[in-house]
Amino acid sequence: MPDRFSRDNAFGKTLLDWWQQLDDDRASRATLRRAPTVTAVTLSAPYQRLFRRLRAIGWNADDVAWRNDRLAAIVGLLAHVSEDRQGELAKAMSHKTTGEDRPMVSELRFTRLLESPDGDSLFVGLRRVLPLMSNSVDVVALANDILHWGDKVKKGWAYSYDWPAHSND
């Protein structure tokens, strides 16, 4: 089983196809959007249907239990994404809209995301951040970052975020 989602591998293609089909499956999207926790996502029929599709193509559900929880977090968050805008997630968070002097995701909020100790707290934090980004992120990048959440991803985000300059630096 590949350890990454890609636009070119079966796991990534299946995930993208499922996400695109959410536009026509408003009931599933609504169910997932209402799920307040990763556990609630896991217990939902829309997640279980995607889980079965991924398992049929080689997702090893018994390999490492936390991977399934991370997949549930990915699914729950993707229900909130309305546009697949390719690019680094942290870079997109620090983007400033035209005429604005503040990034979409403030330095403080971004730092709190980096301090997320586990998938559950990251899930809650990102659910709050996605609307600030007009629910427009790179679907595959989001999936990979959640799947591999840990020091390496956190450091990658820290280097990618365009930190605001302070006058006393």
Q: What is the pTM of this model?
A: 0.92
Q: What is the pLDDT of residue 118?
A: 85
Are 59 and 3 in contact by the 8 Å Cβ rule? The answer is: no
pLDDT score at 84: 96
Question: Does the structure show a pLDDT above 60 at 168?
Answer: no
Domain range list for the chain: 10-160
Structure tokens at 74: 């990915």
pLDDT, mean of residues 50-69: 86
Q: Is the pLDDT of residue 169 over 50?
A: no
| Separation in Å, CA 58 to CA 3, 30, 39, 53, 116 | 11, 28, 23, 9, 29
Give the span between the Cα atoms of 67 and 23, in whole angstroms: 26
At the second CATH level, the architecture of 10-160 is: Orthogonal Bundle (1.10)
CA dihedral 55, 145, 33, 85 (to 10 degrees): -110
Identify the CA nearest to 14 among candidates 152, 151, 159, 139.
Answer: 139
